[in-house]
Structure 1
Amino acid sequence: MSETQTLIENRPPSVATLFTERVAATPDGEAYRYPVPPASGSGPDDWKSLSWGQAAERVYAVAAGLIDLGVNAEERVALASSTRVEWILVDLGVMCAGGATTTIYPSTNAEESAYILADSSSRVLIAEDAAQLAKAREKRTELPELKHVVVIDPAGVEPDGSEPEGWVLTLADLEARGAKYLAKNPDAVKDRVAAITADQLATLIYTSGTTGRPKGVRLPHDNWSYMAKAIAATGLVTKDDVQYLWLPLAHVFGKVLTSGQIEVGHVTAVDGRVDKIIENLPVVQPTYMAAVPRIFEKVYNGVAAKARAGGGAKYKIFQWAAGVAREYAKVTQDNFRRTGNASAPFGLNARHKVADALVYSKLREAFGGRLRAAVSGSAALAPDIGYFFAGAGIHILEGYGLTESSAASFVNPGEAYRTGTVGKPLPGCEVRIADDGEILLRGPGIMEGYHNLPEKTAEVLEPDGWFHTGDIGELSADGYLRITDRKKDLIKTSGGKYIAPAEVEGQFKAVCPFVSNILVHGADRNFCTALIALDEPTILGWAEENGLGGKSYAEVVASPQAEQLIEGYVKRLNEGLQRWQTIKKFRLLPRDLDIEHGELTPSLKLKRPVVEREYKNLIEEMYAGSREA
């Protein structure tokens, strides 16, 4: 048995145990950094730190406070908050109390929040602020099992005389209560941690789902313990790393990063405010971070827009440098695959050095100047965008996993990464490709099942442990996986041709610097069409330079000039596609797609049925008068 297998197979029963071991090993080491906004309300944030010992003090106080409130093993404590250091401390507190965290996105409306609270039988809700508390108050009579709401940031919370006494308390109250409880019962938390078994429920994550009601995915303690060990075994992160964590922790991709960090013991800077990413990167100077493809697309579009605003010469330099980056990345990755040496010919090296001085070095500085690697997951990254960043020295390691597989099943292996693939399976994860191309997974990261839904569980989980992912993919001879599409998203034209819309959409995002979201439609039709939403800052910048300054986004996208602009990019896309894949017609949407209107999941995945339903009239308009075979 290899050292890696031994490490993973001899894992402790829970992350709660891993956390206590980490605290004992490096109590004074820095664990978390978090921003504190200035008292004046303006100016830069002040970043504070917590050592592992200080974090443990708060975690154990939360755990003891929950025990005092009557939370028993496996009982659910819901957590409705954006990504902030308190999210991590509370989640660890729930686990150390032997409870299970039910995660709720702060953007979830009152009705769906109530559904999750009721379906999970959550006894306590940790709510970020007055807005999250208001949702629970609105539905309180429908939630008899919810005994307490704990508010992290109590600003603006008013008392409500109709509530039972103690129904609302603050996080500070809970921690104070826990400290008192520990003074009388010093071993209470230690005993709870020692009693946790590997198969005990740790987390209930409701899939945001691109269709229908969310399903609760049951993830036992062993899933996270395995993930922590497997991430460490990849060697991608070290104790000297600084991670910048902004991903939603209610999503499995964000949550798994907290387990890996505890095992490795590096620093994590936590701030979930997406609008602060550009400002935070030079301050945090991370050595690695994880993101979803939309972030890299936005950065790419922003850099292209800035170059274009600098005039024709600057934009030509950018386009040249982008081409060099892609060529350099493809050549060096190919050489590394064949020879183990990421080399490039002399001429390409020389061009790359010039482009680095002019373009790439500034891009790396914008990421803080120390970024070794970025992990991308949750959706497919367009290969051309991946090659651009790779050539610019920002190495994006695509990974793959689902809520049902505790997030990380595949990741690209460091230097040997291959753009356009999601890498190799994590140690301990088995994979096979079914006859119809579906990816099947088995291993310690796979969920126990769907909460209260045995029939749904049986649909995806075989008795021998194989999980049906619903994704289509192919494995290379040396074990690299390429995802081609969602099984249910493959579309078949009326001419009998199968098309992977995500593949066409990804290619368009690589050629068009103005696109924000695109949906390719063509199921049972005789040609493909597209609904296209543009990136507002980028297209408004273009509008200023093209005689449309002062007009709103909706006015700009309705203009003949904008349609002509995007038509040029559609033609360029079509040049690289098979005839049956080409986009014959498109429509520009009057606004971008977003989470608020239910068109994107909180992890920014497209909800195809919602978008197709909402813009049915535009789709029908594109097919009006066509002969459907």
Structure 2
Amino acid sequence: MTTPITDDALALQRLYHWEANAPDKVAFTQPMGGGVVRDYTWREVCDQARRMATHLQGLGVQPGDRVAIISKNTAHWMMSDFAIWLAGAVSVPLYPTLAPTTIAQILEHSGSKVLFVGKLDGWEHMKPGVPAGLPCISHPLSPDDAKKSYPQWDAIVAKAAPLQGHPVRGADDLSTIMYTSGTTGTPKGVMHTFGNFARAVYRGLERIPLNDRSRMLSYLPLSHVVERALVEHGQLATGMRVYFAESLDTFTQDLQRARPTVFFSVPRLWVKFQRGVLHKMPEKKLELFLKIPILSGIVRKKILTALGLDQCQFAAAGAAPMPVELLQWYSRIGLNIAEGYGMTENIGASHITLGDPADFGTVGTPYRDVECRIAPDTGEIQVRCPWTMTGYYKQPELTAETITPDGWLKTGDKGTIDAKNRLRITGRVKDLFKTSKGKYVAPAPIEDKLVMHAAIEACCVTGANLGQPLGLVMLSAEAAQQAATPAGKAELEASLAEHLKAVNATLDPHEQMDCLVVMTEAWTVDNDLITPTFKVKRNKIEDAFAAQYARWESAGKPVVWHTR
């Protein structure tokens, strides 16, 4: 039976709670650049949000209007969201890495009335996507061009009077429209209410140890549903302290400053952390140290302290599959990583493990109030819960295709459920391909093995109608540098050939790859080959490279280099 949500658990009511009961407690710690760090108390956060809400209403923003935010994660991202809610409006977050055409598409489709422009790289490239005449407001950390072009946050809040009272947004009120394209198609506007977030977050808190003493580092885009739920709504629920990251270059210092008690990351970044450790300490040496009783504890503590994770009580991964080998490696250094599963359409809150090594390879059991089934005809995972989206904005036909009449969300993922009710993801329903020999290949498990090579940043196993599959791999920045010299390229090629041989030895004959095709051009959000959370867009890879598959297959080499 679903537990009803009470009004005092909703986001704005939680904001008022901290404003009244912990006004001097630090809510946000924000690096301002140049070594300067600024703390914001709940009193300051609420005062600035109330003043900005007054300004939005002065611009003509009406209840239910959409107001967009494009920015990296900052204290002002969160304050903007609070101001939008206070003004009665609906927030539309945009990923801070989008192409201008996608920015234009989302702003126009959502009918956004105002745009907050915050901390961004490449604003010059993005700016043409902003429709002419759309009112914009620049954050304190926005690019200089935005500060010159648009009214500035600090000047606005200095003049505006704070919104009075405690406007109420009910459980059924629309809170946000989150645009997601997933790995296919154009962006779809996922609609979530305040009640949806509250229900999902309070169920999540039954498994994730957040409280008023917790610390989190916010760096994955707040435009992604997990960061939004875990960091923003998790903070409103618990009063924890949120630290923001300054940049990739300062990420180590940012982690050291926050010393997070709960830390969430996508698999690609967990891989980067692992490679950083192994760059300083070769794997054979590390494994030897970990076998020596007293020394092993010292080494584990030293590694976790260097990562800034020595006080981490709960580490988690999601948004893409986490290779079991990687989970096992972290477990050996003393960090058991929980793996979660969900979609934007259900606030990312469907299943989660608790970091028990016995659960590695699964995404655990459903949260309370979540039902899960496997469609008998397709093997598709389908989920039903009280926080499923209300639908796709302005797309009722697509909503009807995605949610069954009795409320089951079609995930598009394939999976199995074991005797302990744990869910195992086996791939995407549409990712299966058939070789010319008539054999079906599931690429995801093979990709989990391929990506464990230190030189491989991302990969895609493909090969519909070929004799054998191919592995397309994108090099890490370090490996791309190595490949720039003839000697480095030869060494890398030999290492990749050995890796291919080792991976193929674990596969059935029809799954074994003919070769690895090394991409020398990065797959990026800009060239539309990956999503903002680093998932490979398989259909875009096919469109870009399928014409060359037969030539690569016939090359007769274990490693083939693709250059434009």
- TM-score normalised to structure 2 length: 0.91
Partners in 2 of 1:306 and 1:49 — Cα distance? 34
Cα deviation, residue 211, structure 1:
2.4
Specify the code of the residue in structure 2 equivalent to 1:574: N
1:46 corresponding residue in structure 2: 36
Partners in 1 of 2:207 and 2:343 — Cα distance? 19
SS class of match (2:201): helix
The alignment status of 1:215 with 2:188, answered yes or no, reads yes
- TM-score normalised to structure 1 length: 0.82
Cα deviation, residue 285, structure 1:
1.2
Query: Quick check: which has more Rg, 1 or 2?
Result: 1
2:270 corresponding residue in structure 1: 296
Cα deviation, residue 383, structure 1:
0.7
1:327 corresponding residue in structure 2: none
Cα deviation, residue 242, structure 1:
1.0
CA 1:302 to 1:137, structure 2 compared with 1: closer, same or farther past 3 Å? closer
2:450 corresponding residue in structure 1: 508
The alignment status of 1:250 with 2:240, answered yes or no, reads no
SS class of match (1:218): strand
Q: How do 1:523-542 residues align onto structure 2 when only pairs under 5 Å count?
A: 523-538=464-479, 540=481
SS class of match (1:36): strand
Specify the code of the residue in structure 1 equivalent to 2:448: G
Q: How do 1:127-166 residues align onto structure 2 when only pairs under 5 Å count?
A: 127-128=117-118, 138=128, 146=134, 148-153=135-140, 156-157=144-145
SS class of match (1:563): helix
Partners in 1 of 2:305 and 2:126 — Cα distance? 43
Within the candidate set 492, 509, 528, 1:579 is matched to: 509
Within the candidate set 162, 167, 176, 1:203 is matched to: 176
Cα deviation, residue 557, structure 1:
9.5
Q: How do 1:319-334 residues align onto structure 2 when only pairs under 5 Å count?
A: 319-320=287-288
Retained in 2: the 8 A contact 1:293–1:377?
Answer: yes
Q: How do 1:379-390 residues align onto structure 2 when only pairs under 5 Å count?
A: 379-390=320-331
1:547 corresponding residue in structure 2: none
1:330 corresponding residue in structure 2: none
Within the candidate set 236, 247, 250, 1:273 is matched to: 247
CA 1:497 to 1:351, structure 2 compared with 1: closer, same or farther past 3 Å? farther
Partners in 2 of 1:159 and 1:21 — Cα distance? 33
1:620 corresponding residue in structure 2: 550
Cα deviation, residue 523, structure 1:
2.0
CA 1:508 to 1:116, structure 2 compared with 1: closer, same or farther past 3 Å? same
Larger mean CA deviation between 167-176 and 516-525 belongs to 167-176
Within the candidate set 597, 603, 606, 2:527 is matched to: 597
SS class of match (2:235): helix
**C-alpha RMSD of matched pairs (Å):** 2.7
Larger mean CA deviation between 199-208 and 452-461 belongs to 199-208
2:562 corresponding residue in structure 1: none
The alignment status of 1:477 with 2:407, answered yes or no, reads no
2:31 corresponding residue in structure 1: 35
- Deviation string 1:545-570 (CA, Å, 9 cap, x unpaired) is xxxxxxxx445599333211110011
The alignment status of 1:318 with 2:260, answered yes or no, reads no
Retained in 2: the 8 A contact 1:534–1:592?
Answer: yes
Partners in 1 of 2:450 and 2:124 — Cα distance? 42
- Deviation string 1:241-292 (CA, Å, 9 cap, x unpaired) is 1111111111112111210121111111122633332232222211111110
1:549 corresponding residue in structure 2: none
Cα deviation, residue 413, structure 1:
2.8
2:371 corresponding residue in structure 1: 430
Within the candidate set 175, 188, 207, 1:234 is matched to: 207
- Deviation string 1:85-131 (CA, Å, 9 cap, x unpaired) is 11111111111222111111222122221111110000001112697
Identity %: 28
CA 1:239 to 1:496, structure 2 compared with 1: closer, same or farther past 3 Å? farther
Specify the code of the residue in structure 2 equivalent to 1:256: A
Cα deviation, residue 13, structure 1:
7.3
* Structure in which a larger fraction of residues adopt helix: 1
Structure 1 unaligned segments of length 5 or more: list them. 39-44, 161-166, 309-314, 325-349, 544-552
Retained in 1: the 8 A contact 2:262–2:315?
Answer: yes
Partners in 1 of 2:294 and 2:479 — Cα distance? 28
Retained in 2: the 8 A contact 1:409–1:445?
Answer: no
Q: How do 1:528-567 residues align onto structure 2 when only pairs under 5 Å count?
A: 528-538=469-479, 540=481, 543=482, 553-555=483-485, 559-567=489-497
Within the candidate set 50, 68, 78, 2:58 is matched to: 68
- Deviation string 1:490-545 (CA, Å, 9 cap, x unpaired) is 222233333221111111223x22211111112232211111222222564xx4xx
Q: How do 1:478-497 residues align onto structure 2 when only pairs under 5 Å count?
A: 478-497=420-439
CA 1:591 to 1:379, structure 2 compared with 1: closer, same or farther past 3 Å? same
CA 1:619 to 1:48, structure 2 compared with 1: closer, same or farther past 3 Å? same
Partners in 2 of 1:518 and 1:137 — Cα distance? 31
Retained in 1: the 8 A contact 2:339–2:354?
Answer: no
The alignment status of 1:570 with 2:503, answered yes or no, reads no
Specify the code of the residue in structure 2 equivalent to 1:364: L
Partners in 1 of 2:555 and 2:208 — Cα distance? 58
The alignment status of 1:98 with 2:88, answered yes or no, reads yes
2:238 corresponding residue in structure 1: 264
Retained in 2: the 8 A contact 1:554–1:590?
Answer: no
Cα deviation, residue 71, structure 1:
1.3
Within the candidate set 100, 124, 133, 2:114 is matched to: 124
Cα deviation, residue 398, structure 1:
0.7
Partners in 2 of 1:527 and 1:11 — Cα distance? 57
Partners in 1 of 2:146 and 2:72 — Cα distance? 21
2:151 corresponding residue in structure 1: 169
Partners in 1 of 2:220 and 2:67 — Cα distance? 21
SS class of match (1:413): coil
The alignment status of 1:365 with 2:305, answered yes or no, reads yes
- Deviation string 1:400-443 (CA, Å, 9 cap, x unpaired) is 11111112222223668722221222222221121122111111
Partners in 2 of 1:562 and 1:155 — Cα distance? 39
SS class of match (1:275): coil
Retained in 2: the 8 A contact 1:398–1:412?
Answer: yes
Cα deviation, residue 197, structure 1:
2.6
Specify the code of the residue in structure 2 equivalent to 1:494: S
Cα deviation, residue 392, structure 1:
1.0
- Deviation string 1:361-380 (CA, Å, 9 cap, x unpaired) is 33211222212222111100
Partners in 1 of 2:258 and 2:120 — Cα distance? 29
Partners in 1 of 2:5 and 2:62 — Cα distance? 28
Q: How do 1:429-468 residues align onto structure 2 when only pairs under 5 Å count?
A: 429-435=370-376, 436-468=378-410
Partners in 1 of 2:182 and 2:171 — Cα distance? 27
Partners in 2 of 1:614 and 1:284 — Cα distance? 41
Specify the code of the residue in structure 2 equivalent to 1:286: P
Structure 2 unaligned segments of length 5 or more: list them. 557-564
Q: How do 1:82-93 residues align onto structure 2 when only pairs under 5 Å count?
A: 82-93=72-83
Retained in 1: the 8 A contact 2:208–2:314?
Answer: no
| Runs of 4+ with >6 A deviation | 130-133
Retained in 2: the 8 A contact 1:232–1:264?
Answer: no
Partners in 2 of 1:279 and 1:80 — Cα distance? 25
SS class of match (2:382): strand
